[in-house]
Amino acid sequence: MLLPGETVRRNARGSRWTLRGTLGGTPVYIKVFRGPSALLRAWRTRRNAERLRRFLPDRAPALLHSQILWAGYLCVLVYQQVAGHTLDWLRRPHDPELQVERALSRLVALFAAMHEQGICQSDTNLTNFIDGPAQVQVLDDDDLRFTNGSLSEAVALSNLASLLARLEWLADAEHEHWLVYYAEQRGWPAVTDRQRQRYRAAVAHEQLARKHKRARRQRGSRGER
């Protein structure tokens, strides 16, 4: 019997959310899709989960069960639960510096491994990643994109910038540190000036876009009052 529990994450429209729960007494993640596009999104997510497990089997929870309800307007996917917590705390870290370093090194290593396999996580929200006992795993496979061969340099650096730009407390020197670490994980000989400029431009673009998004949200909340 499938029993839902606490919500791990939910999108703004309420059409997609992830919960912890149990299936026959086994801890699981329950991913729910609701609405006219639920069947398509669930199918795509299941396909992504299977492909991710094929390329990086130790980086994603195993898919255990899927179910379609209400003529496809409600779809449920059930994954094996991984011990650990999402990395959303990295946005405002209160843990010791050593814990932050460990979590970030695992997360950047995950992105390097995905990019090497031609996988791009277009939704870099930190709630999409679980810091498990051994390494970071991908919790949200809805928005994965797959290409043949490794990701191009431009796409890879843009994706890395989208991730690290969420950490607004990162100083320029720390961005440089993680860019160099990413390059090492990819096996690049060294970070070139072109790569550095491309990464920094992508980070600046992401930060500006988030600033505008916050401003629109604040204007909207003031209008509602």
Residue 71's pLDDT is what?
Answer: 66
User: 3-class secondary structure for the chain?
Assistant: CEEEEEEEEECCCCCEEEEEEEECCEEEEEEEEECCCHHHHHHHHHHHHHHHHHHCHHHCCCEEEEEEEHHHCEEEEEEECCCCEEHHHHHCCCCCHHHHHHHHHHHHHHHHHHHHCCEEECCCCHHHEEECCCCEEECCCCCEEECCCCCCHHHHHHHHHHHHCCCCCCCHHHHHHHHHHHHHHHCCCCCCHHHHHHHHHHHHHHHHHHHHHHHHHHHHHHHHC
List 136's β-bridge partners, or say none.
131
Q: What value does the mean pLDDT take over residues 164-191?
A: 96
Q: What is the mean pLDDT of the chain?
A: 89
CATH topology of domain 2-80: Phosphorylase Kinase; domain 1 (3.30.200)
Q: In the chain, what are the domain boundaries?
A: 2-80, 85-219
Q: What is the pLDDT of residue 133?
A: 83
On the question of pLDDT at 9 being above 90, the answer is no
* Residue 155 or residue 141, greater confidence: 155
pTM above 0.75, yes or no: yes
Check residue 225 and give its pLDDT.
55
Q: For residue 147, what are its two tokens? A: 């290409």
Give the pLDDT mean for 163-178.
Answer: 95
Residue 220 has pLDDT above 80, yes or no: no
Q: Does domain 85-219 have CATH number 1.10.20?
A: no
Residue 38 has pLDDT above 60, yes or no: yes
